[in-house]
Amino acid sequence: MSSGRVWTIVAGAAAAGGGYYMYKAGGNPKVAEKQMEYDASRVSSSLRSGMSGQGKEAEKGISLTAEQAGQKMDGALKDAKAKAAELDAQAQAYAAQTEKKVQEFSRDAGKNMNQAVDKFDKNVEETAAKSKSWFGGLFGGK
């Protein structure tokens, strides 16, 4: 596996973990940071208590903690993917609704503008007809 690919995977896992904590915190970065610190502290204390034994017991404690961390990361990644898919679907629905509304407003605005122009034209024609008859009357015409 190339170095660039490893860093891509590590960055993706970090982003998924960050997304998990942001999701759990309801979008509040300070709460997410505190939750992350709390979880790190819990994992650290688990590691320390796992290392209190000797030899194979310590190794078993570390492997269990690593397994638990892996399971948590897998769960967080799964949750983040599901939430991203849900948000994507919502965004597409909102975009479709917005596009429909814009088209409706555009159609209504065009219709209203045409009505206003027709009314203005009618007004101008009536005024011109009155002016024409008045002006023509000055010179002996109708």
125-142 residue pLDDT tens: 888 777 766 655 556 555
Count up the domains in the chain and report the number. Answer: 1
What's the domain range around 123?
A: 3-138
Q: Which position has the token pair 């609704």?
A: 97
Rounded Cα–Cα distance for residues 17 and 84 (Å): 13
Cα–Cα–Cα angle for 31, 66, 86, rounded to 5 degrees: 50
pTM: 0.33
Contacts of 33 (CB under 8 A, 6+ apart): 21
Give residue-wise pLDDT tens across range 44-74. Answer: 877 776 555 555 555 666 666 777 777 888 8
CA-closest candidate to residue 17, choices 93, 86, 74:
74
Give how far the C-alpha of residue 33 lies from the chain's centroid of Cα atoms, to the nearest Å: 21
Which DSSP category does 107 fall into?
H
Q: Are 47 and 61 in contact (CB under 8 A)?
A: yes
